[in-house]
Chain A
Amino acid sequence: MRNTYLPYNPVFESLHQQASKYSTGSGFNIYEQSDPNLNAEEVQNHVDVILLGGEGLLVNVMKFCMQAPLRRISEQTVKLLSDKLDSLKDNKSLSDLVSKLFKIWEECYNIAASDSAKPRIMSYYDKVNEGMDKLKNSLKTLEDSSKNQWNTQQLLDHVNGQMEEKIGAYRKQLVEIKKDIDSGSKEAEKK
Chain B
Amino acid sequence: MKKYNTFRTSIDSNLSVSEDKKAREARREERREKKFKDTDRDFNLNKFMQVLSALKNSIAAIIVECDYDLNNTDKEIASAKKTSGQYREVFRTQLRRVSALIAQAQYRKDKDESKYLEAGGEYQTLIDTFRKQYDELKSDFEDSSKKYKAEKGKEIDKETEDMKYSSILDPFKSAIESFNEAGNIFGTLKIIELADQAASSTPDSSSKSDENTKIEIKKDIKSGTTPSGEDGELTKKVYKLICDRWSKSKTLTATNQWKKSIFCTPKSLIIGPNRTACIKAIKAAYGIKDTTGNITQELADELKKSEVVTESINYVIESSRVLSFSDFLSKKSRTNEKVNIEALKKSLGEPVETSDNKKEKSKESWESPFKDREEGNAFRKWVNENDPEFAKKIELDKEGSHTNSYIRKAWKELGEIYSKYKEQKKAGEESKAKAEAKAKIEAKAKKDAEAKKKKGISEKQAKEIAKKILVAMSGATEDEEEVLKIFKKEIRDKETFDYVEKAWRIFSPNETDLKQIYWNKYDADKLFSKERYRKNGFHTLKDLFKKYYTNIDELRDLRKVLPKGVDI
Chain A residues at the B interface, C-beta cutoff of 8 Å: 7, 22-36, 38, 42, 45-46, 49-50, 52-55, 59-60, 63-64, 67, 69-72, 116-117, 120-121, 123-124, 127-128, 130-132, 134-135, 137-138, 141-142, 145, 166, 169-170, 172-173, 184-185, 188-189, 191
**Minimum distance in angstroms from A61 CB to a CB of chain B:** 11
Contact A30 B168, CB 8 Å, known A49-B162, A170-B73: no
Q: Which of A49, A52, A55, A132 has the most CB of B within 10 A?
A: A55
**Minimum distance in angstroms from A143 CB to a CB of chain B:** 10
Could you pull out 30 A-B pairs where Cβ atoms are within 8 angstroms?
A: A7-B2, A24-B7, A24-B8, A26-B11, A28-B6, A29-B157, A31-B169, A32-B2, A33-B167, A35-B167, A36-B165, A49-B172, A50-B168, A50-B172, A53-B159, A59-B74, A67-B68, A70-B328, A121-B189, A124-B185, A128-B178, A132-B175, A134-B171, A134-B175, A138-B168, A138-B170, A142-B168, A145-B165, A189-B331, A191-B329
Provide the bound-state CA to CA distance between A140 and B24, in Å. 38
Contact (Cβ within 8 A) A127 B185? yes
Chain A residues with CB below 8 A from B77, complex form: 54-55, 59
Contact (Cβ within 8 A) B166 A23? yes
Contact (Cβ within 8 A) B71 A127? no
Chain A residues with CB below 8 A from B182, complex form: 64, 124, 127-128, 131
Q: Is B200 an interface residue (CB 8 A)?
A: yes
Instruction: Say what secondary structure dominates the interface of chain A.
Output: helix
Q: Is B23 an interface residue (CB 8 A)?
A: no
Chain A residues with CB below 8 A from B167, complex form: 33, 35-36, 141, 145
Chain A residues with CB below 8 A from B5, complex form: 28-30
Provide the bound-state CA to CA distance between A92 and B159, in Å. 27
Contact (Cβ within 8 A) B325 A117? yes
Chain B residues with CB below 8 A from A26, complex form: 8-11, 153, 156-157, 173
Contact A49 B159, CB 8 Å, known A141-B167, A189-B331: yes
Chain B residues with CB below 8 A from A45, complex form: 162-163
Q: Which of A7, A52, A120, A138 has the most CB of B within 10 A?
A: A138
Number of interface residues of B (CB under 8 A): 61
Chain B residues with CB below 8 A from A59, complex form: 72, 74, 77
**Minimum distance in angstroms from B57 CB to a CB of chain A:** 14
Closest to A37 in B: B165
Provide the bound-state CA to CA distance between A87 and B165, in Å. 32
Chain B residues at the A interface, C-beta cutoff of 8 Å: 2-11, 68, 71-74, 76-77, 80, 153-157, 159-160, 162-179, 181-182, 185-186, 189-190, 192-193, 200-201, 212, 322-323, 325, 328-331
Contact (Cβ within 8 A) A116 B156? no
Contact (Cβ within 8 A) A70 B157? no
Provide the bound-state CA to CA distance between A34 and B479, in Å. 51
Contact (Cβ within 8 A) A25 B173? yes
Closest to A26 in B: B11
Contact A131 B185, CB 8 Å, known A32-B2, A72-B328: no
Provide the bound-state CA to CA distance between A126 and B143, in Å. 30
Provide the bound-state CA to CA distance between A38 and B2, in Å. 13
Provide the bound-state CA to CA distance between A117 and B164, in Å. 42
Chain A residues with CB below 8 A from B200, complex form: 188, 191
**Which of A28, A31, A116, A131 touches B323 (beta carbons < 8 Å)?**
A116
Across the A-B interface, the 9 shortest Cβ-Cβ residue pairs: A131-B178, A54-B77, A188-B329, A134-B175, A169-B73, A36-B165, A27-B157, A69-B189, A127-B182
Contact (Cβ within 8 A) A172 B73? yes
Provide the bound-state CA to CA distance between A142 and B499, in Å. 63
**Minimum distance in angstroms from B128 CB to a CB of chain A:** 40
Provide the bound-state CA to CA distance between A33 and B186, in Å. 34
Provide the bound-state CA to CA distance between A60 and B76, in Å. 13
Chain B residues with CB below 8 A from A42, complex form: 162
**Which of A27, A38, A60, A124 touches B153 (beta carbons < 8 Å)?**
A27
**Minimum distance in angstroms from A126 CB to a CB of chain B:** 9
Chain A residues with CB below 8 A from B179, complex form: 55, 60, 64, 127-128, 131
